[in-house]
Amino acid sequence: MKKTDTLPATLSALIQEYSIAEGIQMAEQQVRENPAKALCRHSLFQLLCVAGDWSRALHQLQLCARMAATYTQEAR
């Protein structure tokens, strides 16, 4: 993984190009660079779900719901 890599537009595209672990690293970097962007956190949430890291995934989804009302229903 190169430092300049950004997440592909879809989860299926990411899985074709990178490992889940690399995707999580990329998503974490995007969250660090854009902590107030719910979309970045939602991408991290999705990858954590795929990896089976449920507690971290739930935490990211709850943060998304606090940041943007569009994620509230998903968080329930």
- The answer to whether position 29 is within a domain reads yes
4 lies in some domain: no
In this model, does residue 5 exceed pLDDT 90?
A: no
Report which of residues 73 and 33 the model is more confident about.
Answer: 33
Instruction: For residue 20, tell me if it sits in a domain.
Output: yes
Instruction: Return the CATH number at 39.
Output: 1.25.40.10
Note whether residue 21 is domain-resident. yes
- 34 within a domain of the structure (yes/no): yes
15, part of any domain? yes
Rounded to an integer, what is the distance from CA 52 to the centroid of its chain? 13
Residue 64 lies in a domain: yes
pLDDT tens figures, 23-71: 999 999 999 999 999 999 999 999 999 999 999 999 999 999 888 877 7
* Burial of 13: CB neighbours in 10 Å, binned 0-12, 13-18, 19+: exposed
Residue ranges making up the domain that contains 41: 11-75
Please state at what angle helix 38-51 crosses helix 54-67, rounded to 10 degrees. 160
User: pLDDT category, 3, cuts 50, 70, 90?
Assistant: very low
Total of domains in the chain: 1
